[in-house]
Chain A
Amino acid sequence: EAQVTQNPRYLITVTGKKLTVTCSQNMNHEYMSWYRQDPGLGLRQIYYSMNVEVTDKGDVPEGYKVSRKEKRNFPLILESPSPNQTSLYFCASSLYLAHYEQYFGPGTRLTVT
Chain B
Amino acid sequence: AQSVTQPDIHITVSEGASLELRCNYSYGATPYLFWYVQSPGQGLQLLLKYFSGDTLVQGIKGFEAEFKRSQSSFNLRKPSVHWSDAAEYFCAVVLIELGDTGKLIFGQGTTLQVKP
Contacts and interface: CB of A to CB of B under 8 A. Distances in A.
A104 B94 contact: no
Interface residues of A, number: 26
B101 interface: yes
A98 interface: yes
Interface residues of B, number: 26
Contacts, number: 65
Given A40-B9, A40-B108, A41-B108, A101 B46 contact: yes
A75 interface: no
A97 B109 CA distance: 22
Interface of B: 6, 9, 32, 34, 36, 42-46, 49, 51, 90, 92, 94, 96, 100-109
21 contacts: A42-B106, A42-B108, A42-B109, A43-B44, A43-B90, A43-B92, A45-B103, A45-B104, A45-B105, A50-B102, A59-B105, A97-B94, A98-B94, A98-B102, A98-B103, A99-B94, A99-B101, A99-B104, A102-B46, A102-B104, A104-B45
